[in-house]
A = this chain, B = another copy of it.
Amino acid sequence: MPIYSAPVRDYLFVLDEVLNIKSIDDMPGYADLEADTISAIMSEAAKFCENELLPINLSGDEEGCTLNPDGTVSTPKGFKEAFDKYNEGGWMGLSAPEEYGGQGLPYIMGIVMEELMVSSNHSWAMYPGLTHGAMAAFEVTGSDDQKRRFLPSMTSGKWTGTMNLTEPHCGTDLGMLRTKAEPMGDGKYKISGSKIYISSGNHDMAENIIHLVLARTPDAPAGVKGISMFIVPRNHIDEDGNVGEMNAVSVGSLEDKMGIHGNSTCVMNYDGAVGELIGEEGKGLQGMFIMMNAARLGVGMQGLGHSEVAYQNAAAYANDRIQGRSLTGPKNPDGPADPIIVHPDVRRMLMNARSFNEGARLVAAWAALLVDRSMHHADEAEREKASDFVGLMTPIIKGVFTDFGMQNALECQQVFGGHGYVREWGMEQTVRDVRIAQIYEGTNGIQALDLVGRKLPAHGGRAIQAFLAEIQELIDRNKGIDGMADFTDPLAKGLGRLQAASMWLMQNAMANPDNAGSASYAYMNLMGRVVLGAAWTLIAAKCLETLEAGTDGEDFYKNKLIVGRYFMKWRMPETGTFLKQVEAGCEDLMAMTADAF
């Protein structure tokens, strides 16, 4: 049975010590986030995740969901009870507006919660996760009346939400979607079509399910401009919010997936289901992107969440498992063998995960802070700059975090040897579950294209120029400080390569757009390393400063410096390969005819 202990101490370090969020006085909510407050919220969250979600993770995977003959879907044992407790605790509304019953905490606290829930139970976490995405769409594109009718019940968790985008013949290319919405004359629409891969599509945990469905109105133009978004509740809702009869919404089947078996991923059929427009007609993709961007950061946190729980279990196993002897002589001479943590190569696998996790936590918190700033800061210039950075960070966090998540889950599974391949230890479930994070909400290849094709060239490269300058400034600020060269030197090298890669793109992508395509994945990975290297530089500076000033918890800071040095020495050199791949160009990739593959 897997173990998990929420990284409360580490988040306190990130939020309070490094980012010092309580000192942020130009945005609502931050000044209240004293260390004690963060600690109290996180301890409660940790208790919920460790005691309620973790115990039903392995069993939920084994049992899976069941589509009953009457069209209802049963979730695994304990899922509903945990959801009730989640709602009693007010967790669904943690960072939702107070006017709809939320607690109004900054988004940054919601992001933290995301990591903890996924570490404990990814399948379960998707039910509130999708609801948060839908709530974001309501907040931004819904009318006041729609907000009034739907948000309170979603904020309380009485109702949950879904996103209905994909159809059998179209995923990435939503312009091809066929689901129809016919006006009924009373302002409502009849929705008809079939959607696949609908996470949390139907289940027995909530009173109602609010589907947000992309569809085409009659005479809508072809392509994405003809797409609108509709609210289609599973059960009709009257003006007073009472839930009535079933809408013409049904589950075609449950998808038979590699993992996340506890989530009810459905084929959803709409047979003239009654819905209403949300946002403007023909602007459905805008609402979808609001959900998507929130969801993409959340998916990135799934990579981190899995990496963390995989690390914790592998580290415990490596300390427990007695096998062979240290290369430098017995470390457990009275026992029949040494614990395998004496082996450098076992530590390498653990360090890969840990050095990502601790760096990524800062990157995620910083990005969440920027999301808050982009939405709530009073100054438009501040909002714009924050929004630029969120744009850059979204594909990095989604794409790079989930790639690391997968690699780390695999390496931590590897630490277990044969035990990693059997179900009872939980590692193989982690691998199967984290895999989806590289695929959904836009595959990681799509993230890379979004970064290189959309985010880099926007506003004449304004965002990337500002980002490169910010990293340069970070280096300049730290490079003379004793002990910091282990961080600033590799970061400077990585930054130089990122600059060179950006330059290469500017010079070659216009002439042949396939050069942008061929470079995109390596570019995203290169930038991801630089972002993580920058995070470690900030962390190291804080640790050195704290140690210099004297502290009770010396080991915490000293170990951070060791883990950070590992990242800089072992992972930053990968930027060299990525630059070569960027500069390789598209020639060899595009040389063969399609049918020669």
Contacts of A350 in B (CB 8 A): 597
Which of the residues B421, B436, B589 comes within 8 Å of A436, measured between beta carbons? B421
Contact A570 B565 (CB under 8 A): no
- The CA of A421 and the CA of B344, in the complex, are separated in Å by 34
What B residues does A169 contact at CB under 8 A?
Answer: 322
On whether the beta carbons of B336 and A176 are closer than 8 Å, the reply is yes
- Knowing A570-B584, A576-B576, A584-B570, the reply to whether A319 touches B436 (Cβ < 8 A) is no
Q: Tell me if B173 and A323 are in contact (CB < 8 A).
A: yes
Q: How far is the CB of A279 from chain B (nearest CB, A)?
A: 24
Of A151-159, A383-391, A508-516, A534-542, the one contacting chain B is A508-516
Question: For chain A residues 497-526, which have a beta carbon within 8 Å of chain B?
Answer: 512-514, 516-518, 520-521
Question: Which residue from B323, B327, B439, B581 sits with its C-beta under 8 Å from A418?
Answer: B439
Known: A172-B323, A580-B573. A448 touches B517 (CB 8 A): no
CB-CB nearest in chain B for A197: B418
Determine whether the beta carbon of A256 is less than 8 Å from that of B423.
yes
Contact with B along A82-97 (1 / 0, CB 8 A): 0000000000000000
A527 within 8 Å of B by Cβ? no
Interface residues on A, range: 35 or more
With A344-B517, A520-B345 given, is the CB distance from A423 to B258 under 8 Å? yes
Which of these, B255, B423, B513, contacts A328 with CB under 8 Å?
B513
A168 to chain B, nearest CB (A): 9
**Closest CB in chain B relative to A536 CB, distance in Å:** 12
Among A196, A347, A420, the one with the most B-chain Cβ atoms within 10 Å of its Cβ is A347
How many copies altogether? Answer: 2
A594 adjacent to B173 (CB under 8 Å)? no
Verify if A449 is at the interface (C-beta below 8 Å from B): yes
State whether A414 touches B581 (Cβ < 8 A): no
Q: Are A348 and B518 in contact (CB under 8 A)?
A: yes
Query: Could you say which of B422, B445, B574 contacts A256, with CB atoms under 8 Å apart?
Result: B422
Residues from 397 to 417 in A contacting B, C-beta threshold 8 Å: 406, 410, 413-414, 417
The answer to whether A27 has its CB under 8 Å from any CB of chain B is no
A120 within 8 A of B: no
Taking the complex as formed, is A315 at the interface, i.e. its CB lies under 8 A from any CB of chain B? Answer: yes
- A173 adjacent to B256 (CB under 8 Å): no
Bound-state CA distance A166–B569 (Å) is 36
Chosen A-B contacts, 10 in total, with CB atoms closer than 8 Å, are A172-B417, A258-B428, A341-B594, A341-B597, A344-B590, A345-B449, A350-B597, A351-B589, A555-B596, A569-B584
In the complex, the 10 A-B pairs of residues with the closest C-beta atoms, listed nearest first: A344-B517, A258-B428, A344-B518, A327-B513, A573-B580, A315-B597, A256-B423, A173-B324, A173-B323, A347-B589
